[in-house]
Amino acid sequence: MRYPGGKSRAIKAIYSCIPAKETKLCSPFLGGGSIELACTTRMQVYGYDIFSPLVDFWQVLLDNRELLADRVERYYPLSRTKFYSLQKRYTHLKGKLERAAAFFVLNRASFSGTTLSGGMSPGHPRFTESAIERLRSFQVTNFEVGCADFRESITKHTDAFLYLDPPYMNGHALYGINGDTHTDFNHQELADILHKREHWIMSYNDCTTIRELYSDNPILSIEWVYGMSKNKQSSEVLVLSKDLAI
């Protein structure tokens, strides 16, 4: 998956902060799933997202990757006209398989993986035959995906370590359909919940408001290169629960 703020190039930095003793991981903001998939090699991972089209994709991929790849293949090659037509009628598609296939197609072909919130990528298209084959050969264990907001998923997994990658606090509508899962996000409520929990790590964009919300927590400044733009350095921090040693 291509996803705004994806952490595929930050796996090593984030993975190393998760204590080796942990056996369960809950991720309330699954997104592209880079960190979560890396963690399946050593623990049971429960991934959640409030964005149902994304959840549909993950669930269909886990249930029947070959059938999904076959359906995706019907869209290849994808013209600009077909891209915008598919994006426009996405919400009217019938069936979970059809929606999952369309979501993958739009995700791979859209600018920076914005899928339903952005336009078609102008160059270096990622919707390729090799991408379809990677989909067909995808295999993972210890991974479950559900649709829920952060309140529900955090409450459900009281004994799991939390990895959180919430929407950026920067005003850009990057997630959901036309940015709806970003613009309405309650950063203060998330902070209130986490201040009552232990055993968590969170990646966030670095800004004054975030540092104020988590002023009593360990905050690590880290750098990596974004997968969406090889020339763009991250401007993010890792916020840790107070019980984690730095």
Maximal CA-CA distance, the chain: 52
Cβ–Cβ under 8 Å, residues 52 and 181: no
Cβ–Cβ under 8 Å, residues 98 and 60: no
pLDDT tens per residue, range 38-52: 999 999 999 999 999
Residue 43: name the closest of 211, 208, 171, 157 by CA. 157
Domain boundaries, the chain: 11-240
What distance in Å separates the CA atoms of residue 236 and residue 233, rounded to the nearest whole number?
A: 9
Q: What pLDDT is recorded for position 147?
A: 98
Q: What pLDDT is recorded for position 139?
A: 97
CATH topology assigned to domain 11-240: Rossmann fold (3.40.50)
For 117, the 3-state DSSP assignment is coil
Rg (CA), the chain: 18
Regions of the chain with pLDDT less than 50: 225-231
pLDDT tens per residue, range 118-165: 778 776 578 999 999 999 999 999 999 999 999 999 999 999 999 999
Residue 107: name the closest of 155, 99, 198, 196 by CA. 99
What distance in Å separates the CA atoms of residue 93 and residue 72, rounded to the nearest whole number?
A: 14
